[in-house]
A and B are shown apart, each in its own frame.
Chain A
Amino acid sequence: MKTGTVALPEFLKLPPVIEGKLTPGSLDDQVLSHLDRRPPPAWFVAFAFSSSLMVIGLMLIGYTIATGIGVWGNNIPVAWAFDIINFVFWVGIGHAGTLISAILLLFRARWRNAISRFSEAMTIFAVICAGIFPAIHVGRPWLAFWLMPYPNQRGIWPNFRSPLIWDVFAVSTYFSVSLLFWYLGLVPDLASLRDRAPGKFRKAVYSMLSVGWRGSSSHWQHFEKAYLILAGLATGLVLSVHSVVSFDFATSLVPGWHMTIFPPYFVAGAIFAGFAMVVIVLVVVRSTMRLENLITMYHLDVMNKVILTCSCLMGYAYVMEAFTAWYSMNGSIHHTFKQYIFGTYWWAGWTTISCNVLIPQLLWSRRFRRSYPVMIFVALAVTVGMWFERFVIIVSSLHQDYLPSSWHIYRPTLVDYGILAGSFGMFFTLVLLFARVLPVIATTEMKVVLPGSQPRHAGGLHE
């Protein structure tokens, strides 16, 4: 069977995952040398801006803890507002990193290697930002340790039947697993850094962190197996953690919250928002750190395709929710859904739909998928849209639920806005620090996918 001598159109050719000539040595030089140099002035400006936002946010958090939740806009019935919106938002953003690191590893997608390190780091920072909110939104944060099941003199245990406790376990598991997965992947890279460290202090630090890694094949054998297993386990977490977060809503009786589609809908939304954030950060990283040959247009193209797929999944979910709301013939649910579109917060509902379903449709065009302005515009729209989606779900449903005498408008306060801005500041501060201190690309994993990296008898198509 001769596959014809007809030249394949551009459309069907397998694009290169790496551009240009690359050797393991040049890879090390390109990526690891950033840690030896002083960062460009733009880094300092960005760091100053984001760390100021972070400090403002932290001060406002301190003010909230000292004064009380009354400084926020929360009221009855809108007892959950910016606090939980931000929590769900940030946890969602973390999921993209795990998908790229873990799920794409299981699919043997070679293009994942250039972006896995960075996205895993973003997962960890996003989960850190997320974890702040459950801690501060309880009335007495200094007693937050009561959520942990330890034997105490009151003789009681946390209520394991409550989705809020499921959340505690799910998010802490997610954080520890992501941290472990990320750290283990870093160990060989830290060994590289140890061996090229210019000063004694740096060498000592990298030595300790790389725990004496020496690249022995017997070590690699256990390492690879453990890494693959960790990827499989982390995949389970991608599905389960945001599903458990969705259970916070779906197990309740609030109209508009008790919809069985919430678990997969939230997971799709998390991947959606996460990939958008990854695209934004990667566009900045690849241009400022001159990594265009490693994080190629192909990477951005594929990630934009994932964003487009998730946008279609969100569209399906919105249609299903609307249809089932009508089909349920339940007056309260009817009212809630009408509120989403025509009620007090109608502008949030329309923002959600246009940013999440309409704008990303631009990505059907190949040209747009590869154009910086369009992809950044779409990614920003998705980030905004996904934040507003949680706003609509939480605030719009709560502010007019079953009992009309309880209906109440919600207005966020400046403290709410400040803490939200502070969380963005914290996230980007951590990202900037990471880019300064650790290799943003997993050089060891990249070396594996360079052409000629594996011996011939185990060659063939690696996908």
Chain B
Amino acid sequence: MNGSSTTKILTAGAVAGLAGIVATLFVSGRERFWVNWIVWFLFVLTTGLGCFFIVALEHVVGARWSVPLRRVPEKLSSLVLLMAPAALLALFSLPAIYSWTRPESLDNPMIAGKAGWLNIPFFSLRAFLCVVLWLLSYRILVTGSYRQDRERDHRFNMRARRFAPLFMAIFAFTITIVAFDWISSLEPEWYSDIFGVYLFAGTFLAGLAATTLALLHLMDRKRLPGLGPDHVYNLGGFLFAFTVFWSYIGFAQYMLMWYANLPEEVFWYKERLEGLWGPLLLALAVFHFFIPFFVLIPRDAKSDPKRLRIVAGVVLFAHWLDLYWMIFPVLGKGPLFGWPELSFLVLFVSCGFLWIRRALGRGADMPVGDPFLQEGLGFRL
């Protein structure tokens, strides 16, 4: 496919999408607009954060086999930069869909007691801090890696190795804040302390899936010489393992709340099981667990580009479905997918792809300045 024609299509899509979402704001109402915004900005943000996590993980454990492919998640993690303004824009959604912003919510003692945490200034400060911390970490880990291409200075490895554990702490707390603030506080009476871990699991999986798709795309175009099926196998193994991990966390949260049956916890699930939401949750289980798990069981499936592409695509879709299923019910209606949702999809997917194309096109495809590149290329199982 001709590169510039793809760009033209995507740009057209972005424009059309933008027009669509503006129309949504005026025709379908603030709530629907903002709910879609939250679902989509979180989807793209968490995908970027997942890739960012992969980069930091590689630095923390000092893995050599992954050095040649590290540039792929580094480029994809720039999605966090794209979503930084989207996150700050999302702050305007607070009065529209977050019930604790309304003065009458303070009549409820359970909300009033948390007003020290759930108030617009503190919430915005937290969101702002998360964005700042992510941008700073990006500068250190990703921009530094690009700089290493030119300067061939191995001190970057040391700096990255020293910073990565701190980033892990930052990541742990920021992803928890994202989960608690943006998703859980849509229903401020509800609480679940595994929620940060749950969002982390989905985030990591989304990052792995996006990395896999981008990696296979680049390998098809022979832009990653030296990378072989053994590298791909490891990625496939991670996809498999963390599919199981996400399912375990999701099931644990559901089963514990089902078992204790406390009204103050179960209402969240009850809303998300009535009407068509129940079958949607079943679909989520199929796409997020059954399909990736059973397709990736055979050993050769984990290094087979065809099956990996399918699974990675399904996992990304399932991650979006997960966010949709968690967030949309706050509108009080059944699962909707009309032209508003379609416009948001077109807008965010087009912008996302445009951004990713730009990122993949700039800079080297492998961290050429990394002293362990050769060793990584020589990795065999």
Question: B-contacting residues of A (Cβ < 8 Å)?
Answer: 1, 3-4, 6, 8-9, 11-12, 14, 106, 108, 235-236, 239-240, 243, 247, 250-253, 258-264, 312, 316, 320-321, 323-324, 327-330, 458-463
Chain B residues in 8 Å Cβ range of A240:
248
Residues of B contacting A243 in the complex (Cβ-Cβ under 8 angstroms): 248, 252
Contact A258 B256 (CB under 8 A): yes
Whether B197 lies near A461 (C-beta < 8 A) is no
Known: A12-B158, A250-B256. Is A460-B378 also a contact (CB below 8 A)? yes
Q: Are A4 and B154 in touch, CB under 8 angstroms?
A: yes
Q: Per-position contact with A for B367-381: 1 when CB-CB < 8 Å, else 0?
A: 010111111101111
Contact string, B244-262, partner A, CB cutoff 8 A, digits 1/0?
A: 1100110011011101101
Bound CA span A4–B372, Å: 10
Inter-chain contact B260/A320, CB cutoff 8 Å: no
- In the complex, A328→B255 CA distance in Å? 19
Query: Is B158 within 8 A of A253, CB to CB?
Result: no
Cα distance, A372 to B293, chains bound together (Å) = 43
Q: Does B109 lie within 8 Å of A329, measured CB to CB? A: yes
Q: Which of A1, A260, A312 contacts B252 (CB 8 A)?
A: A260
Assembly CA distance A312 to B172 (angstroms): 10
- Using known A-B contacts A251-B259, A253-B260, determine if residue A8 contacts B237 with beta carbons closer than 8 Å: no
Residues of A within 8 A of B192 (CB): 260, 324
- With A261-B193, A320-B193, A328-B191 already in contact, 7 other A-B pairs whose C-beta atoms are closer than 8 Å: A4-B154, A251-B256, A251-B260, A258-B256, A260-B253, A264-B252, A316-B173
Known: A9-B158, A316-B172. A461 touches B248 (CB 8 A): no
Minimum Cβ distance to chain B for residue A333 (Å) = 10
8 Å CB interface, B17-38 against A: none
B248 touches A4 (CB 8 A): no
Task: Decide if B194 touches A264 in the complex (CB within 8 Å).
Answer: yes
In the bound complex, CA of A324 to CA of B179 (Å): 13
Q: Which of A4, A251, A260 contacts B371 (CB 8 A)?
A: A4
Asked whether, in the complex, the Cβ of A461 is within 8 Å of the Cβ of B176, the reply is: no
Cross-interface CB contact of B154 among A9, A14, A316, cutoff 8 Å:
A9
Q: In whole angstroms, how far apart are the Cα atoms of A262 and B256 in the complex?
A: 10
Q: List 28 A-B contacts (CB under 8 A).
A: A1-B373, A1-B374, A3-B374, A4-B152, A6-B371, A12-B157, A14-B64, A106-B237, A235-B241, A243-B248, A247-B255, A253-B260, A259-B193, A260-B195, A260-B256, A262-B256, A263-B252, A264-B197, A312-B165, A312-B168, A316-B173, A321-B193, A327-B117, A327-B191, A329-B110, A329-B114, A461-B64, A461-B380
Contact with A along B172-210 (1 / 0, CB 8 A): 110010001000000000011111110000000000000
> In the complex, which residues of chain B have a beta carbon less than 8 angstroms from the beta carbon of A330?
264
Give Cα distance in the complex from A4 to B192, angstroms. Answer: 50
Q: Is B169 an interface residue (CB 8 A)?
A: yes
Q: How large is the interface on B (under 10, 10 to 19, 20 to 34, 35 or more residues)?
A: 35 or more
What is the CA–CA distance of A251 and B117 in the complex, to the nearest angstrom? 28
* Secondary structure type dominating chain B contacts: helix
User: B113: CB under 8 A from chain A?
Assistant: yes
Nearest-neighbor residue (CB-CB) of B201 within chain A: A264
Instruction: Give the contacts of B216-246 with A (CB-CB under 8 A).
Output: 237, 241, 244-245
Closest A residue, CB atoms, query B189: A329
How near does chain A come to B313, taking the closest CB pair, in angstroms?
A: 25
Cβ-neighbour of A459 out of B113, B241, B380 (below 8 A): B380
User: From residue 343 to 377 of chain B, which have CB atoms closer than 8 A to chain A?
Assistant: 368, 370-376
Q: How far is the CA of A330 from the CA of B381 in the complex (A)?
A: 52
Contact of A462 among B62, B63, B380 (CB under 8 A): B380
Contact of A236 among B194, B237, B244 (CB under 8 A): B244
Could you tell me the distance in whole angstroms from the C-beta of B212 to the nearest C-beta in chain A?
A: 18
What CA separation (Å) do A101 and B197 show in the bound complex? 26
Chain B 37-57, CB-CB to A under 8 Å as 1, else 0, gives 000000000000000000000
Q: Is the CB of B260 within 8 A of A252?
A: yes
Which of B110, B191, B371, B372 contacts A324, CB < 8 Å? B191
Verify if B325 is at the interface (C-beta below 8 Å from A): no
- By beta carbon, the residue of chain A nearest B249 is A264
Given A4-B154, A8-B371, A260-B194, does the pair A463, B252 have CB atoms closer than 8 Å? no
Query: CB distance A320 to B154 under 8 Å?
Result: no
Q: Which 10 A-B pairs have the closest CB atoms?
A: A324-B193, A460-B380, A260-B194, A261-B193, A251-B259, A329-B110, A261-B194, A263-B252, A461-B379, A329-B113
Which of B194, B264, B370 gathers the greatest number of chain A CB atoms within 10 Å? B194
